[in-house]
């Protein structure tokens, strides 16, 4: 009987002990695989988040905030140089304007209310619309009374479906095309997308026309952004708005997309250096880091648990093999007495250890397949709850609720989309881990085998 067959047969000499060892080692291997699955799934999600969240830089004319403040518009020539910077994947350019009753036959779907009147002028006082503010056709003062009709906001853009901050509309939201079609980013046609509220207010549908800038504009589509402000706006091709409003080449906002959030700060610095004092440059790197932080915590926990499970398995097989060697001292002495070498005897016990761990690996892989996704989600949900509490405290105690709420909303959405799956690579890693455990656990026991002297064993017996 050769060394391998003898080692495999010896693994089943005590069925109760074998079963106990396989179950305990199986739990260790299963935990190792589960933590490996969780570590890999969360790592993939972190990479996904880093490549898609917080990887934008907002560029606006210095001193401008919407239609407040002052300053001079940026130019497409300036932004063309930004597009060429390293790690910049794309630049979305927008030009915002306001249409009053003298510029368009559209009626705003927003009622001014007390806030609108307050922003436009104080009630009971004579009000003269500021130059260029767009209030000329909608505000009047008579006998101490003030009437104000909000203008219609128009945005020229190269990305009509981008409703993010600094994107196609100032109100944000999620773009949903209800009817019609989108225009291309480089279009020069006299077309527009209308928000549902604005279209309803003016009884317009796809194919209808309206007047703006003394030009007939065709409705290409109707969109729903999910909020009142954005649904009261119209979106047009950037080149069209630039031409009709006599602002050729001008840009009031640009969103620079970076290949990864790890490069956002470097790109921000490069843009600031490129544009100098002509632009205000901001990014969302901090918010993105807050988004990724809980995922990184889960990844660290799973890594430490993986290391702990592998060490625990090695210790289990070590103690098991040491115990078996001590039980079989007489047998080892006899084998060595009849000519068996230390290498053959150690190989026999190593095969026995590998047999234990191979059986345990099968059990562990089954546990990993069944428990990988649930345990990953359990870790994620616990971290999500912690993040929720911290965000709630910031919302009600720190005055930053808006950004915090949006940040947590994104974190929660990313948590919910994490899916842990056991692939063939994980199974191979599992068998590899089991082999490492077997070799590490039987190494020390092999040292004890080499120390056994046949004469001493036979004399004791």
- Give the Cα separation of 240 and 236 in Å (integer): 7
Q: Would you say 153 and 233 are in contact if contact means Cβ atoms under 8 Å apart?
A: yes
Highest mean pLDDT among 267-281, 318-332, 384-398: 267-281
Per residue in 55-85, pLDDT tens? 888 888 887 765 555 678 899 999 999 999 9
- DSSP H or E segment with residue 155: strand 152-157
Mean pLDDT of the chain: 75
Per residue in 220-259, pLDDT tens? 999 998 888 889 899 999 999 999 999 999 998 898 988 8
- Give the Cα separation of 103 and 132 in Å (integer): 13
Q: Of 332-346, 369-383, 447-461, where does mean pLDDT reach its minimum?
A: 447-461
For residue 15, the tally of other CB atoms under 10 A from its CB is 8
Q: Mean pLDDT over residues 334-354, rounded? A: 77
Per residue in 77-125, pLDDT tens? 999 999 999 999 999 999 988 898 888 999 888 877 666 666 555 434 3
Residue 211 confidence (pLDDT): 95
Q: Around 95, how many Cα atoms within 13 Å sit in the side-chain half-sphere?
A: 25
Q: Would you say 289 and 115 are in contact if contact means Cβ atoms under 8 Å apart?
A: no
Q: Which residue has better confidence, 343 or 217? A: 217
Q: Mean pLDDT over residues 129-143, rounded? A: 43
Q: In the beta sheet, which residues pair with residue 222?
A: 179, 194
Q: Would you say 210 and 204 are in contact if contact means Cβ atoms under 8 Å apart?
A: yes
Q: Which residue has better confidence, 52 or 192? A: 192
Q: What are the distances in angstroms from CA 193 to CA 152, 183, 197?
A: 13, 8, 12
For the residues of 160-173, what is the DSSP string, one character each?
A: TT--STTSS-TT--
Here the tokens at position 410 are: 């994104």
What is the DSSP code (8-state) at residue 70? Answer: -
For the residues of 229-260, what is the DSSP string, one character each?
A: TGGG-EEEEHHHHHHHTT-TTEESEEEEEES-
pTM above 0.75, yes or no: no
- Give the Cα separation of 200 and 222 in Å (integer): 10
φ, ψ dihedrals at 235, nearest 5°: -115, 130
List the one residue out of 162, 168, 165, 142 whose CA is nearest residue 235: 168
Q: Is the pLDDT of residue 307 over 80?
A: yes
Residue 418 confidence (pLDDT): 57
Q: Is the pLDDT of residue 374 over 70?
A: yes
């Amino acid at each position: 009987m050769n060394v391998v067959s003898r080692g495999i047969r010896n693994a089943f000499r005590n069925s109760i002990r074998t079963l106990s060892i396989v179950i305990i080692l199986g739990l260790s291997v299963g935990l190792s695989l589960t933590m490996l699955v969780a570590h890999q799934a969360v790592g993939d999600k972190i990479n996904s988040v880093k490549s898609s969240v917080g990887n934008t830089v907002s560029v606006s004319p210095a001193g401008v905030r919407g239609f407040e403040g002052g300053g001079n518009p940026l130019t497409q020539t300036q932004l063309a140089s930004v597009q060429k910077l390293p790690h910049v994947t794309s630049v979305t350019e927008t030009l915002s304007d306001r249409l009053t009753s003298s510029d368009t036959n559209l009626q705003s779907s927003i009622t001014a209310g007390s806030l609108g009147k307050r922003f436009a002028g104080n009630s009971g006082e004579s009000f003269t619309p500021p130059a260029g503010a767009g209030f000329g056709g909608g505000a009047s003062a008579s006998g101490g009374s003030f009437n104000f009709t909000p203008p219609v906001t128009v945005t020229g853009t190269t990305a009509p479906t981008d409703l993010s901050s600094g994107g196609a509309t100032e109100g944000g939201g999620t773009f949903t095309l209800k009817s019609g079609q989108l225009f291309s980013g480089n279009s020069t046609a006299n077309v527009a997308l209308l928000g549902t509220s604005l279209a309803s207010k003016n009884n317009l549908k796809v194919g209808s026309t309206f007047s703006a800038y003394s030009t007939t504009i065709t409705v290409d589509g109707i969109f729903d952004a999910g909020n009142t402000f954005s649904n009261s706006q119209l979106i047009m091709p950037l080149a069209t708005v630039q031409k009709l409003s006599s602002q050729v080449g001008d840009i009031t906002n640009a969103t620079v997309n970076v290949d990864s959030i790890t490069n956002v700060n470097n790109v921000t610095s490069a843009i600031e250096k490129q544009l100098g004092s002509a632009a205000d440059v901001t990014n969302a790197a901090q918010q993105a880091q807050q988004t990724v932080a809980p995922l990184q915590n889960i990844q660290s926990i799973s890594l430490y648990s993986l290391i702990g499970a592998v060490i625990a398995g090695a210790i289990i097989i070590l103690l098991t093999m040491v115990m078996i060697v001590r039980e079989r001292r007489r047998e080892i002495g006899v084998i060595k007495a009849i000519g068996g070498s230390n290498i053959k005897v150690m190989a026999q016990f190593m095969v026995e250890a590998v047999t234990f761990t191979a059986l345990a690996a099968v059990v562990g892989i089954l546990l990993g397949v069944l428990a990988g996704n649930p345990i990953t989600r359990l870790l994620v949900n616990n971290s999500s709850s912690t993040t929720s509490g911290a965000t709630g405290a910031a919302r009600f105690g720190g005055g930053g609720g808006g950004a915090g709420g949006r940040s947590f909303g994104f974190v929660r959405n990313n948590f919910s989309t994490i899916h842990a799956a056991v692939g063939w690579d994980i199974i191979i890693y599992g068998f590899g881990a089991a082999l490492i455990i077997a070799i590490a656990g039987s190494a020390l026991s092999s040292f004890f085998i080499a120390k056994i002297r046949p004469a001493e064993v036979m004399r004791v017996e």
